[in-house]
């Protein structure tokens, strides 16, 4: 279905955001890590739902991430325990400060399903550091394509960051969903820049 030009009204309790899909077909030139990076990347084999959701909240509530929060344990574990899905925690100064999830379930492809840092690491060069790890992990395999999507609810610099990292936009979509704050998935005071309606 193609949307018509102009303004479209949403019912109260709904959110709309624009999703940008980006892709690459070969490993881009390396952008060196900034000096002084203190983080480490730790693979979490077969993560438990409670641990995963806690980290997902920590990095995603500010951006109203909800897609994994609506899944029951069985559906979540079907993804996270699939041997073609890799979950990583970013550890910094003794705390989990980010996550990376790589999805290899389509042969020859890697989707960055989730890429996030806490606010404490944003702007420190940690994003470039984490992307370098993601690119290394993905392109160490015989890939034909790596891709990611982001939306207007994510960090405002996300699209530009992915382009600097070597991705190219290829598709734009509109996503309409229930506001996760109004259905109890995320605290009502999350993302104060997006008003509750």
Q: Look at residue 107 and tell me whether its pLDDT is greater than 90.
A: yes
What are the residue boundaries of the structural domains of the chain, listed by start? 14-25+39-178
Mean pLDDT of 72-100: 96
Give the tens place of pLDDT for each residue, 11-67.
999 999 999 999 999 999 989 998 888 899 999 999 999 999 999 999 999 999 999
pTM value?
Answer: 0.95
Handedness of CA 115, 53, 71, 42 (dihedral sign): positive
| Residue 72 neighbours by CB distance under 10 Å | 9
Judge contact between 20 and 172, C-beta under 8 A.
yes
Closest CA to 133 of 31, 2, 4, 14: 31
User: CA-to-CA distance for 24 and 147, rounded, in angstroms?
Assistant: 6
Phi-psi region of 142 (alpha: psi -120 to 50; beta: other; left: phi over 0): beta
CATH number 3.40.630.30 given to 14-25+39-178? yes
Percentage of residues in the chain with pLDDT exceeding 90? Answer: 89
3-state SS, residue 43: strand
**Residue 36 pLDDT:** 83
- Cα–Cα dist 190/62, whole Å: 6
Give the Å distances, CA to CA, from 53 to 67, 104, 110, 146, 180.
11, 21, 22, 25, 14
Q: Give the mean model confidence (pLDDT) for residues 187-194.
A: 95
């Amino acid at each position: 279905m193609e949307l018509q030009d102009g303004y479209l009204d949403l019912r109260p309790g709904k959110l709309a955001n624009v999703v940008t899909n980006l892709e690459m077909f070969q490993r881009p030139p390396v952008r060196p890590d900034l000096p002084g990076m203190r983080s480490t990347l730790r693979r979490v084999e077969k993560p438990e739902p409670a641990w995963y959701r806690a980290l997902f909240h920590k990095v995603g509530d500010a951006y109203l991430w909800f897609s994994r929060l609506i899944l029951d344990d069985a559906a979540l574990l079907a993804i996270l325990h699939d041997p073609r899905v890799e979950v990583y925690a970013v550890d910094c100064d003794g705390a989990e400060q980010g996550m990376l999830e790589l999805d290899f379930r389509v042969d020859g492809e890697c989707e960055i399903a989730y890429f996030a840092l806490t606010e404490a690491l944003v702007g420190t060069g940690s994003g470039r550091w984490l992307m370098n790890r993601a690119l290394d992990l993905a392109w160490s395999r015989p890939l034909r394509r790596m891709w990611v999507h982001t939306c207007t609810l994510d960090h405002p610099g996300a699209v530009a960051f992915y382009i600097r990292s070597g991705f190219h936009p290829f598709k734009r979509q509109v996503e309409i969903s229930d506001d996760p704050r109004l259905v109890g998935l995320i605290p009502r005071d999350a993302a104060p820049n997006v008003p509750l309606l």
